[in-house]
Structure 1
Amino acid sequence: MKLPHKRRAERKDATARPEQRREPQRALRPGRRPRQRPGRRRAKSRGRAARKARRPLRPLIDFPRRGRRGRRRWTPSWKLTSGLFLLFAGGLAGLFAAVYAQVEIPDPHDSASRQGTVYYWADGSRMVSVGDVNRQDVKLSQVPESVQRAVIAAENADFYSDSGVSVAGIGRAAVNIVKGEETQGGSTITQQYVKNTYLSQEQTVERKIKELFLSLKVSNQRPKTEILEGYLNTSWFGRDAYGVQAAAYAYYGIPAKDLNPSQGALLAAVLKGAESFDPSLGPGNRQRAEDRWKWILDRQVATGSMSAAERARYTDFPEPKPPVKPTSQAGQTGYLVDIVNKYLKSRAGITGKDLAAGGYSIHTTFEKDKVQALAEAVEQVRAERLDPKKRPEDQDVQVGAASIRTGDGAIVAVYGGSDAVEHFTNNADTSGVPAASAFKPFVYAAALEQEPDGGKRPAESAAPDSAPDSPKPTPTGPTTESVKLHAGLVESDHTPFVESGKKTGLKKVKDLAVATGLREDSMAKLEPTFSIGTSTPSAVRLAGAYTAFVNHGRAVEPHSVTRAERNDAAVDGLERPKPRRAMSSETAATVSAALRQVSWSTVGPPQDQRNRLPSWAGKTGPNDRMNSAWFIGATPELSTSVAMFRTKPDVPQLLPMQGVGGPDSDRGSAFPPLIWKAYNESATPAATPAEAPRDRP
């Protein structure tokens, strides 16, 4: 008989859940873990917590990484990398927002407060002040839509949809500024408007950052039409013109409202840089301007702002009118300013836009009395020897001249033409006039450089104090080629120079000429005629190159500026050029002997017998068949070159010199020596024989 409590236990076991009854079988099945009782599970959890509590806490920034070895220890985890990136991005965004909130749009520049640029004579007296702002604001409604579209297509095609800035353009410019390289374009129209209206033109990182924030602010607060109107009224178009209205008058003599789409495309082209795209500034500019004009018209078709049918109507280049100098630059003043501005651009990196903005004080090398003396010498010979009313051959005659101090290369005087206001091209500093026989001394020097001792020097019968009617020097031991070249230079014979050029090598002749100061881009093709002067150096460069024969083989670089300041800060890059060795002193002495004989036989001794300084000269003669006449005369004080030629604005090539001044003028070659002599006797002070320097070996 079972006891009551045992019966209750059996009943309880019989009523147990099937899962509980099957639990022992499950625990015995292979591959399955027996279920832990709740007590064991809690014990295990308490064990893990205890072990975790005993572990040291990881730092917030796990670097170098714990538990890693080698390179992995020093490789940041992706959590650390992403966290730092988010932190940096958030901080940068916060800083950007804070700066943007604090930026206020300043007042526009007051154009009336701009200062002029003042040019001074060598003695410190004031020559001229230029740079008054030439601008007349117009409403956007007064600018044809075709002009607006041309500017937008050329400068910022997505102007109406962008945020006002080009981050890529700013970043590129900032990197280039830091690296000291030339900045590149890429600014939006809004950025350019902000720079023109509120900021300076300096290329610095600080200015670029200001430009970024102001451009965003302006783009958010001003309508695009207002920005475009401001940009068109403040942009620099060259020719001293700020704004589209002044540019329309400067290039076409009409108001902006009358510009046609073709003319508007050209004005949009010069926005890229008038120094490079104003077609009146040389054949290279002409080609660049035409190429960009075509591109802008095509660009409008590509962007949908002009139909292909309308584009097809504009096939002829819209030739602008010649530039006009302000009346303050009449006479020779405009030519002097032109030479100075070119020098500042090449040496100091100053742009035409910088100069037009004003504020510069520029001290030049020009001597007022010598400029006047050179102009008077030219006009005197023209009045006495040319008669354009009676001789058609005397019409369209041009003269260019330059006088350089032999010792240091300072340009003391130029004659660029009759009047800078009426005749825009600077005849003293333009290429295009063949040097002819005036180039022969460089061929002679190059040949001598290939021989020992410069081919030996002719006898001292060619000394500077020789009588003007003394016999030709008899060379003492020179080579046969030197004798031929010496005679050929004096007698204007081409044959020995053509032969010598072939023998010496035209490349060596060219290299020596460039070493004396002639520009590489004025050199002609290396053909047999190269040796007889097909190259076209300017009067300034040829006068500078002849100093090498006077200075015993050392050439001086022509310069026109002694110093310049802006806002009391000196402009860098204007240090006086140092003389450079162009040829040996022996070569210079040998060529000088022939050049002195040319001088005496051409112009004779000075009228003032006290002033019997030695002089060197190269010239063209009756055997030259080129359309130019040259005379380059040098003394220990001044090297002066004079060129005469004929040209018409609508004729691309030079006109013939045959018959200029009558049948006895040797194709006009008789006149440059007369100009040189009249100028030199006025500009060079008299010296006693004891003061006259003698030639040195």
Structure 2
Amino acid sequence: MVRRLLFRLLGWLLAFFFVLLITVVAAFFIGYQRTEIPQLNEEFRANATVVTYADGKHQLGSFYEQNRKSVLLREVPKHVQDAVIAAEDRSFWTNPGISLPGMARAALAIARGKQLQGGSTITQQYVKVMYLTQERTMSRKLDELFIATKVSRTQDKKTILENYLNTIYFGEGAYGVRAAGQVYFGVDHPKDLTVPQAAYLATVLNNPTWFDSDNPAAAGRTLARYRYVLAGMTELSTITAGEEAQYRKSLPVLKKRPKGNRYAGPTGYLLDLARRELAQYGFDGDRLTGGGLRVITTFDRGLQQQAVEAAAAGYPPGGSDVHVALASIRPGTGEVVALVGGRDYLKSQQNWATTKAPPGTLLRPFALADGTTGKSLDRQYFDLVDAHQGELITKAAEAAGIPRIPKADRAAPGLGPDPLASPLDLAGAYATFIADGRWVRPHVIKEVRDSHGKVLWSAGELRPVQALMGEAARGIDNVLMGGKGASATALSIEKRKFNRKCRCKKYRGAPDTLASWWVGYTPELSTAVLYRAGKVGESNLAPYGDGKRFLGDGWPAATWSAYAHLPLTRAAR
């Protein structure tokens, strides 16, 4: 009896499977028959993404760098073609233009509420760019599937590959393999690209933002992807195993073309931050530079101008090697309203407002609250930090947005979550003291709309986190203000080391000032100012002035005061 029921159940399951299979095939056939290959997407070629200040009116900049230079496929060497195929679609020459496993993964991502990414063959990527919008929905993905199938059946594979190589985005404003070679290596024509150079270009086209060479954190993942491409080229018999072993040791040397003038001056740091954050939300590559988006940032035009002016006035005489950084956040919202990362982005892409430095005792206020229970602690924690108190700092500061460093990398485990923090980190963390302990991840994007005005992303999706209990946050605020009822709270710290090797008479044996801070907040703004010197920010600040200018209410405090338009006497230190 049981056996008969099992056979009957199996029969029903097989019948259901075949009905489902027939339904899917029929649906695909009907969809395929009804789909027409549209006209080339000329709109994609022309629409720039406009970036504005928080008011949505005044333009901050744009992302529109469509540097295109077409080249015939017969002029592209086989090793360049194979590098791209090895990276993006190793079955390109034999597949029907679509990847069913990839489509299944994309459908699963949608079902889980995630953004639709990946799962595309070279043919699908080409169709997405030149025939469809950059919208990421299941209906658009189905259109992509049907059109890619038709294109694969009606166009020669060589034609598809040629069109793809001339339209795909490689980052740095380069569309197409010829423009990419010029931008990354100063090589005018693909025929002159070496194997390592071709493999590198194939690496970055997968995700130009993720593999951005200007981001030091991208080096490891770029090398891993580069080696993956080389392995694919060996699999395709384009290079030998010996050549792969030689090339995989390191990335080829870049000779990148300078960025466009739109990145000039302090504004370049804002645009770069906006671009990086947009990539986190899925707006990158073609979707960003050619999608005709309207991006509203959190930057306040007036406050940004004040910040730039305050930083410019704060450079000490002869301080060409001094870096002034400023980050200002609106408490309770996480909106970055002003930021100064350097003097000129075109001259240096090092953003000092997001680069970490030793914060020293600026982390001590977090010892005034237990990061687990929010219990208010004694004032003594502010004056002396032992191992136990350091763990309290770790919990509370980490909750307020200062990331924890692994224990293996910590020289002194009891001194907080991370011996380094950026001005942006500290401005966001200190904002919790005046926002009843609420923390929202610091962000620079307020809203993204498409060319028709439809909202694609909003900062409303970022929810506040109760980093500290409200009572504890108010207690910290009260201690920092010293009971004076001041509307601004500030602390300064000079991270110093003893310089025993200095040969100069004036500074022999004197301690080095490596970082000088001033952090303060009002109910409206939380702002951190940092001074550093040297190429990597590890040089002594003391020679720039008499040394005392970086102590107490010196240069950083003056810069903070000039930006906030508040006298320092209102701040409790």
**Is the TM value for this pair above 0.5?**
yes
Partner residue of 2:561 out of 665, 669, 677: 677
Percent of aligned positions that are identical: 32
How far off its partner does 1:267 sit? 0.9
The answer as to 2:480 corresponding to 1:619 is: no
Partner of 1:537: 421
Partner of 1:370: 303
How far off its partner does 1:195 sit? 1.9
Q: Deviations over 1:633-686 (max 9, x none)?
A: 2223321101122343xxxx54222534144247677321121122222xx6x9
CA change 1:553–1:260 in 2 (3 A) is same
AA matched with 2:183: A
AA matched with 2:46: R
Query: Could you say what secondary structure the match of 1:531 adopts?
Result: coil
Partner of 1:562: 446
Q: Deviations over 1:563-599 (max 9, x none)?
A: 332122112442175654433455445544553469x
Partner of 1:664: 547
Q: Deviations over 1:408-442 (max 9, x none)?
A: 443221111112232223222x2332222322222
The answer as to 2:538 corresponding to 1:655 is: yes
AA matched with 2:157: K
AA matched with 1:618: L
Partner of 2:360: 436
The answer as to 2:317 corresponding to 1:386 is: yes
How far off its partner does 1:150 sit? 0.8
Kindly report the root-mean-square deviation, in angstroms, between the aligned alpha carbons of the 2 structures.
3.7
Partner of 1:575: 460
Q: Distance in 2 between matches of 1:105 and 1:586?
A: 63
Count, aligned residues = 552
Alignment of 1:457-472 (within 5 A): none
Query: Could you say what secondary structure the match of 1:400 adopts?
Result: strand
Q: Distance in 2 between matches of 1:369 and 1:146?
A: 52
AA matched with 2:363: F
Q: Deviations over 1:198-256 (max 9, x none)?
A: 12333333333332332232222222211111111221222233222232233223324
Q: Deviations over 1:621-643 (max 9, x none)?
A: 37566732211122233211011
Q: Would you say the 8 A contact 1:436–1:534 is kept in 2?
A: no
Partner of 1:217: 150
CA change 1:171–1:122 in 2 (3 A) is closer
AA matched with 2:195: P
The answer as to 2:528 corresponding to 1:641 is: yes
Q: Deviations over 1:532-569 (max 9, x none)?
A: 78532222221121122334544454343333321221
Alignment of 1:299-378 (within 5 A): 299-314=232-247, 315-321=249-255, 324-346=258-280, 348-378=281-311
Q: Would you say the 8 A contact 1:116–1:129 is kept in 2?
A: no
Query: Could you say what secondary structure the match of 1:154 adopts?
Result: helix
Q: Distance in 1 between matches of 2:29 and 2:465?
A: 58
How far off its partner does 1:92 sit? 6.2
How far off its partner does 1:450 sit? 7.9
Partner of 1:411: 336
CA change 1:148–1:169 in 2 (3 A) is same
AA matched with 1:386: P
Partner of 1:504: 389
Query: Could you say what secondary structure the match of 2:517 adopts?
Result: strand
AA matched with 1:263: Q
Q: Distance in 2 between matches of 1:122 and 1:84?
A: 55
Query: Could you say what secondary structure the match of 2:59 adopts?
Result: strand
Q: Which runs of 5+ in 1 are unaligned?
A: 1-67, 388-393, 456-481, 489-495, 601-611
Out of 218-227 and 623-632, give the one that drifted further: 623-632
The answer as to 2:33 corresponding to 1:109 is: no
Partner of 1:269: 203
Q: Which runs of 5+ in 2 are unaligned?
A: 498-511
Q: Would you say the 8 A contact 1:433–1:536 is kept in 2?
A: yes
How far off its partner does 1:613 sit? 5.2
Q: Distance in 2 between matches of 1:187 and 1:561?
A: 28
Query: Could you say what secondary structure the match of 1:528 adopts?
Result: coil
Partner of 1:53: none
AA matched with 2:202: A
CA change 1:512–1:73 in 2 (3 A) is closer
AA matched with 2:362: A
Alignment of 1:50-449 (within 5 A): 72=5, 75=8, 96-97=28-29, 99-110=31-42, 114-132=46-64, 133-181=66-114, 183=116, 185-257=118-190, 258-283=192-217, 285-314=218-247, 315-321=249-255, 324-346=258-280, 348-382=281-315, 385-387=316-318, 394-406=319-331, 408-428=333-353, 430-446=354-370
Q: Distance in 1 between matches of 2:374 and 2:144?
A: 62
Q: Would you say the 8 A contact 2:495–2:516 is kept in 1?
A: no
Q: Would you say the 8 A contact 2:214–2:349 is kept in 1?
A: no
Query: Which protein has the bigger strand share?
Result: 2
TM-score (norm 1): 0.70
Q: Would you say the 8 A contact 2:303–2:337 is kept in 1?
A: yes
AA matched with 2:556: P
CA change 1:583–1:526 in 2 (3 A) is farther
Out of 620-629 and 85-94, give the one that drifted further: 85-94
CA change 1:628–1:74 in 2 (3 A) is same
Partner residue of 1:454 out of 377, 388, 392: 377
Query: Could you say what secondary structure the match of 2:68 adopts?
Result: coil
Q: Distance in 1 between matches of 2:338 and 2:220?
A: 32
Q: Would you say the 8 A contact 1:658–1:668 is kept in 2?
A: no
TM-score (norm 2): 0.84
Q: Distance in 1 between matches of 2:73 and 2:534?
A: 43
Q: Which has the larger radius of gyration?
A: 1
How far off its partner does 1:162 sit? 2.6
AA matched with 2:433: F
